[in-house]
Amino acid sequence: LELIRKSIDPECPLSIKDGGVIKEGYDDKLDSLIFASREGKKWIASLQEKERKKTGITSLKVGYNKVFGYFIEVSKANEDKVPQHYICKQTLVSAQRYITAELKEKENAILSADSQRTELEKKIFADICQKVASESSKLQTVAKSIAYLDVISSLAEIALERKYCRPEIEASDAITISEGRHPVVELISGKSFIPNDLEMRPEDKQVLIITGPNMGGKSTYIRQAAIITIMAQAGSFVPASKASIGIVDRVFTRVGSSDNLAKGQSTFLTEMMETAKILNNCTSRSLVVMDEVGRGTSTLDGLSIAWAVTEFLLENERTRCKTLFATHYHELTKMADIYPRASNLRVEVKEWGDSIIFLYKIKPGASDRSYGIHVAKLAGLPQSVIGRAKEILDRLESERNSDRELPVQRRVFQPYLFEEPDEIKERLEKIDVNALTPLDAINILNELVKIAKNKH
């Protein structure tokens, strides 16, 4: 560190190519080149005034560009006053540019000094880097210590500022959080954060299924649970009034939606790959956070997958991990009636006329509505679209068979989850087109037409 303080100018440019990286006084040869360059530039700076007095040309200028170097510029109106020792270098529309032997000599001295200085600085800088690299292990140790102090001091500071509590770390499989808050959302929202409780136990609250409208706080709730757990096991105070955290071996998350264009993976494929990784690696000591699994495909496919994933987490003894499952599939709430270790939570919402008010409170029980049209209205969709959506929703709800139920036993699914068998499709799949005669084809076509008419 002392070497760096002595050698490197704290105000140096970003690139070593620009020079000025090494402090004056560090290297004698470099200092002499800096002095030569500086003195030469001082002489150049004084040349303009000196030549104006000599020639009587008050508009005379001394300039520089990368193509011609240093030059003396005289307007064409004053060409008759130009001394004979001026050498014409460039003709412009309204002026002439000249050099003198003395100016050229100083230019060469300045450019040479600058060039030598840059090359010498590169060499000196490389030597310093080599010396620093030889102490890299010590520097890394110092950096780790500073990073550790930075983290614990930051956590201590925020714990005092935001009134965090000291969590109890236990060997049990339970997680209990009273008035938990999301540490990031709380800071950036600019509003008073609504705290929520969380209780998870392997015997009756192993899997919590959270339903409710979008924007209601489902995602924030499940993420804050994961963050609080990680903070507690890292030794930090946590954003809650009280917390008791059973040690977890891993925290798995399936949140957000994104594709991987570079690998040719769709949003749904990415979602399924992440879900597979969770199911294949989680243990009974893991905490799993899943947000809207199955939304990247059709409704029936998505519901089937979400149901099977939740069922797997409940039934597989190895994977009976604590799970927070936020979903818009209200059918999943029936799992709490089937499995004693599943429990329902809902986002509380207050209806006010045609509008809804998000209360951001998590309560026991299942939500019976998604309020999607209300959220669309809040988002600013045209009123005509909102009105049409309500009409379609009313029609679909009136046509829904209220008696259809999801299965109460694993792998025994009610037919309504899937398309009815298609007799026409089955007949077509069995036909060997290459073996048909024209007459056979006409007969089969007539049979299929009759089947289709009978259906309608």
Higher per-residue pLDDT: 70 or 420: 70
In this structure, the answer to whether residues 176 and 322 fall within a common structural domain is: yes
Whether 447 and 410 map to the same domain: the answer is no
Structure confidence at residue 421 as a pLDDT band (50, 70, 90):
low
The reply to whether 347 falls in a domain is yes
Distance CA 345, CA 366 (A): 6
d(CA 299, CA 307): 12
Most confident stretch, 32-41, 352-361, 390-399: 32-41
Same domain? For 264 and 117 the reply is no
Residues 293 and 322 in one domain: yes
* Amino acid 413: pLDDT: 41
Distance between start and end Cα atoms, the chain? 87
Kindly state whether residue 177 falls inside one of the protein's structural domains: yes
Distances (CA, A) of 52 to 57, 78, 83, 108: 5, 12, 11, 23
Neighbours of 427 (CB within 10 A): 13
Confirm whether 436 is domain-assigned.
Answer: yes
**Confidence category of residue 343, pLDDT binned at 50, 70, 90:** very high
Task: Give this prediction's pTM.
Answer: 0.63
Give CA–CA dist 199/310, Å, rounded: 18
pLDDT of residue 420: 52
One domain, residues 330 and 219: yes
Element (H, E) at 397: helix 383-399
Q: What total number of domains does the chain contain?
A: 3
Residue 430 in this model has a pLDDT that exceeds 80: no
Please answer whether residues 259 and 266 qualify as being in contact, where contact means their C-beta atoms are separated by less than 8 angstroms. yes
**What's the chain's average pLDDT?**
84
Assess whether 126 and 200 both reside in one domain. Answer: no
Q: Give a yes or no: residue 146 inside a domain.
A: no
pLDDT band at 248 (very low <50, low <70, confident <90, very high): very high
CATH number of domain containing 403 = 3.40.50.300
Question: What does the alpha-carbon distance between residue 452 and residue 450 come to, in Å, rounded to a whole number?
Answer: 5
Report which of 289, 222, 220, 287 is spatially closest to residue 253, judged by C-alpha positions: 289
Comparing 366 with 428, the larger pLDDT belongs to: 366
Query: Please, which residues have CB within 8 angstroms of residue 255's CB and are 6 or more apart in sequence?
Result: 219, 222, 223, 289, 290, 291
pLDDT per residue over 163-215, tens digit each? 999 999 999 889 999 999 999 999 887 778 999 999 999 888 999 999 988 77
Residues 214 and 361 in one domain: yes
DSSP secondary structure code for residue 369 in this structure: -
In a domain, residue 139? The reply is no
Range of the domain at 34: 2-134
Residue 143 domain-assigned?
no
- Is the confidence at residue 417, as pLDDT, over 50? no
Share of the chain above pLDDT 70, in %: 89
| 290 and 384 belong to one structural domain | yes
Select the more confidently predicted residue: 446 or 314: 314
Over the stretch 360-406, which tens digit does the pLDDT of each residue have? Answer: 899 999 886 666 776 677 777 788 787 777 777 777 667 654 444 44
Whether 328 is in a domain gets the answer: yes
How is residue 195 written in tokens?
């705290």
pLDDT tens digits along 304-317: 888 999 999 998 87
Helix (H, G, I), strand (E, B) or coil at 18: helix
Is 154 part of a structural domain of the chain? no
The answer to whether 255 touches 289, Cβ cutoff 8 Å, is: yes
pLDDT digits (tens, 9 = 90+) for 48-84: 899 999 999 999 999 988 888 899 999 999 988 999 9
C-alpha 232/C-alpha 406 separation (Å) is 39
The answer to whether residues 311 and 221 belong to one domain is: yes
Kind of pairing between the strands at 342-352 and 207-211 = parallel
Q: Are residues 331 and 207 in the same domain?
A: yes
Predicted confidence at residue 209, as pLDDT, reads 94
CATH number for the domain that contains residue 42: 1.10.1420.10
**Is there a single domain that holds both residue 191 and residue 280?**
yes
**Residues 316 and 216 grouped into a single domain:** yes
